[in-house]
Amino acid sequence: MCGICGVWHWTEEPVTEQLLQRMAAQLRHRGPDDEGTARPAPGVGLGHTRLSIIDLSAAGHQPMANAAKTAWIVYNGEIYNYRTLRDELQRAGAVFVSQSDTEVILHAYERWGLDCLEHLDGMFAFGLWDARQQQLFCARDRTGKKPLFYYEGPSVWAFASEIKALLVHPGIPDEINLEALPAYLAHGYVPSPDTFYRGIRQLPPGCRLVLSRQRRTAEVTPYWEVHRRVRRTEPSAAEARTEVRRLVTEAVRKRLIADVPLGAFLSGGLDSTIVVGVMSQLMDQPVRTFSIGFSGDARFDETRYARIAARRFGTRHTEFIVEPQAFELLDTLVYHHDQPFGDSSAIPAFLLSRLTRQQVTVALNGDGGDELFAGYLRFAVCVRAERWPLWMRRRMHHLAQRLAGWSGRHHALASAARLCEAARLPPAERLFRLTAYFPQPEEVLHPELAGLVRDDRLMGNFREIFQASPNGTLLSKLLYVNLREYLAGDLHVKMDRCSMAHGLETRSPLLDTALIEYALGLPDAMKLRGWRTKVILRDAFADLLPPEIQHRGKWGFGVPLGAWFRTSLRARLQELLLDPQAQWLAYLRREAVQQLVDEHLLGARDHSQRLWSLLTLETWLRLRKAGALLVSHA
């Protein structure tokens, strides 16, 4: 893993070494082992910070050029099939001077041009300068594990792994993009390609970007769209179990390649347990595993299940217990995300990454199992609601209002109210309602900002994917939307920023491309059968899983914020959100936020996730005003 950045001045104004070093300094946490810059053409500069994983020698230094110095690359990620590609390229005449996967991308580009992306299997983001074509070629991996942001202005074009590296360029303005606020309130993150900064965009997953001297507007093109790649299949149950097991095993095997210590996150859930179980079969030494729990609320402590899995596979296991003081991480989390980020599970993700990095440099995780095999309860809810008569779904609205009034601290009633409210809506809107923090952002925005709420920004990507796969089943469409939106905008962002804050590389075997395209093409009943989720995945590894984990229901990677906000963190919550000088007052209605705080503290409703999203918004506004979102040293 690494940090990358690049600049192209249209006027050919020199890109100074000092500027590149200042940009790279913002990314040093992503790559603490090495740093480099290059200026391969007038007005063009590239910067890189390296976390050495494969080929630890100086031969893996970046920016890296081909032998003729006509192509230069800065790259962040891992290409899992790089050895196979290397052999193929050598047979075609390529001469290698390193053992790194970075050089494989360079030679692949020389042979296949932009189509080299079709040959790359991995997680990556890169920028490649082609001196012959006088063009910049950028790309991001298929599901968006690795980030890439860019700015397009009248005299400068720039890209980077994180927004903070762009903001040190004097030609890039630091201005809030208010149009992103309603989407953030709805989702808890800003969906691509938007960001909270005016003029700064994020390259969507599975897309490439080409910029040339002749055409100074970036041309963004998808090279992988999951709903167009998946082919429906009808294998027997036995065939599907065999193939799923083979694909998962091969995906784990590919991700064990590293020249540094390697381990795994182990939550005690189905997915991470499968990954660790397969690792234990493939490795000739005990797997080093890491898990995290929470004090004060046993419902959020999965360490008991993690211990069961650790004993089953004989791992070298380490645990960490989070105290409410973890709230003090708020400033640090916002700094590393560059934007407000509403998912409170960033707290354990950050702490788990810090603990893990003390012992290993690479950690495998179980991300992706829910996305491929319908592991979230909301999928079952959306599918079952579609089978209810229309009159029943319409009446659910009235039931939802009554349940909401009774819910109080009872999470089950609150969830039922949300389900009843969503049931009456069309499928795409139903999924949105079940996942949104604020389904109607105008209820908390200042009246003069209510015009920023646009349905196409809140729901555009949801409907687009539903419409792009007209022949798909309802479940398949829900999975496509979740993969493109929640996985890319929330889970991948959280995992990348929290792990890279500590220079830890994380790998997700269950998001292997071959596994994605096979699993999503399986019949719905092999993923979701009634309320039983991840059917074929459970069955494929039935002999490997401990019984306690095989039959566990879904339990998210959450934190007991609801209880913390009413007890040990009560004063801190009020201090930040009810401050008369709070920064959010410029954008949100005071009475709406006050009501959320009061209802939560009185136990009338559980607004913990909404309140956390507002806390991260307030913290970002404060840090930005104080100039604390950038490192001060060059």
Residue-range domain boundaries for the chain = 2-224, 228-374+495-550, 377-480, 561-625
In order of 28, 45, 58, 621, the CA distances from 429 in angstroms are: 41, 44, 52, 30
Cis peptide before 193 (omega within 30 of 0): yes
Query: What is the model's pLDDT at position 578?
Result: 95
| pLDDT tens sequence across 359-375 | 999 999 999 999 999 99
HEC profile of 321-345? EECHHHHHHHHHHHHHHCCCCCCCC
| pLDDT tens sequence across 47-99 | 999 988 877 788 889 999 999 999 999 999 999 999 999 999 999 999 999 99
For domain 2-224, the CATH class is alpha beta
Query: What is the model's pLDDT at position 457?
Result: 81
Query: What is the model's pLDDT at position 335?
Result: 97
Whether the per-residue pLDDT at 123 is higher than 90: the answer is yes
Query: What is the model's pLDDT at position 385?
Result: 84
| Pairing verdict, β 219-222 and 207-212 | antiparallel
Rounded to whole angstroms, the Cα distance separating 543 from 541 reads: 5
Query: What is the model's pLDDT at position 552?
Result: 73
Mean pLDDT, residues 505-531: 96
| pLDDT tens sequence across 258-294 | 889 999 999 989 999 999 999 999 999 999 999 988 7
Whether the per-residue pLDDT at 409 is higher than 50: the answer is no
Whether the per-residue pLDDT at 633 is higher than 50: the answer is no
Three-state secondary structure call for residue 40: strand
Whether the per-residue pLDDT at 634 is higher than 50: the answer is no
Mean pLDDT, residues 510-537: 96
Radius of gyration of the chain (CA): 24
Closest by alpha carbon to 158, among 141, 173, 179?
173
Q: How many residues does the chain have?
A: 634
Query: Which ranges of 40-159 would DSSP assign to H, the alpha helix?
Result: 82-91, 101-112
What does the mean pLDDT of the chain come to? Answer: 91
**Global pTM exceeds 0.85:** yes
Output the CA torsion sign for 154, 160, 165, 167: positive
By percentage, how much of the chain surpasses pLDDT 70?
91
Query: What is the model's pLDDT at position 408?
Result: 45
Query: What is the model's pLDDT at position 54?
Result: 77
- How many CB atoms neighbour CB 581 within 10 A? 6
Whether the per-residue pLDDT at 8 is higher than 70: the answer is yes
Mean pLDDT, residues 243-261: 96
Whether the per-residue pLDDT at 398 is higher than 70: the answer is no
Tell me which amino acid residue 150 is: Y
Catalytic residue, from 2, 116, 207, 382: name it.
2
Question: 413 or 75: whose pLDDT is higher?
Answer: 75
Question: Is the Cβ–Cβ distance between 216 and 232 less than 8 Å?
Answer: no
Whether the per-residue pLDDT at 386 is higher than 90: the answer is no
Instruction: Note if 2 is an active site residue.
Output: yes
Closest by alpha carbon to 49, among 88, 20, 90?
20
| pLDDT tens sequence across 436-458 | 999 999 999 999 999 999 887 88
| Pairing verdict, β 362-364 and 262-265 | parallel
Rounded to whole angstroms, the Cα distance separating 352 from 19 reads: 34
Rounded to whole angstroms, the Cα distance separating 327 from 345 reads: 12
Domains 2-224 and 228-374+495-550 alike in fold: no
Question: Is the Cβ–Cβ distance between 311 and 282 less than 8 Å?
Answer: no
| pLDDT tens sequence across 133-188 | 999 999 999 999 999 999 999 999 999 999 999 999 999 999 999 999 999 999 99
Structure tokens at 216: 């100074």
Cis peptide before 348 (omega within 30 of 0): no
- How many CB atoms neighbour CB 242 within 10 A? 13
Whether the per-residue pLDDT at 420 is higher than 80: the answer is no
The CATH number of 228-374+495-550 is 3.40.50.620
Structure tokens at 244: 């799923």
| pLDDT tens sequence across 198-211 | 999 999 999 999 99
| pLDDT tens sequence across 554-565 | 665 567 888 889
Own/partner long-range contacts of 530-534 (Cβ < 8 Å, ≥24 apart)? 530/380, 531/377, 531/380, 533/370, 533/373, 533/374, 533/375, 533/376, 533/377, 533/379, 533/380, 534/270, 534/369, 534/370, 534/373, 534/374, 534/375
Q: Which residues, at least 6 apart from 456, have a Cβ–Cβ distance to it below 8 Å?
A: none
Rounded to whole angstroms, the Cα distance separating 51 from 53 reads: 6
| Pairing verdict, β 219-222 and 262-265 | unpaired
Query: b/e map of 60-77 (b: 16 or more CB within 10 Å)?
Result: bbbbbbbeeeebbbbbbb
- How many CB atoms neighbour CB 530 within 10 A? 10
Whether the per-residue pLDDT at 410 is higher than 50: the answer is no
| Pairing verdict, β 135-140 and 122-130 | antiparallel
- How many CB atoms neighbour CB 308 within 10 A? 15
Whether the per-residue pLDDT at 299 is higher than 70: the answer is no
Element (H, E) at 613: helix 608-625
Structure tokens at 215: 């055409």
Q: What are phi and psi of 484, to 5 degrees?
A: -80, -30
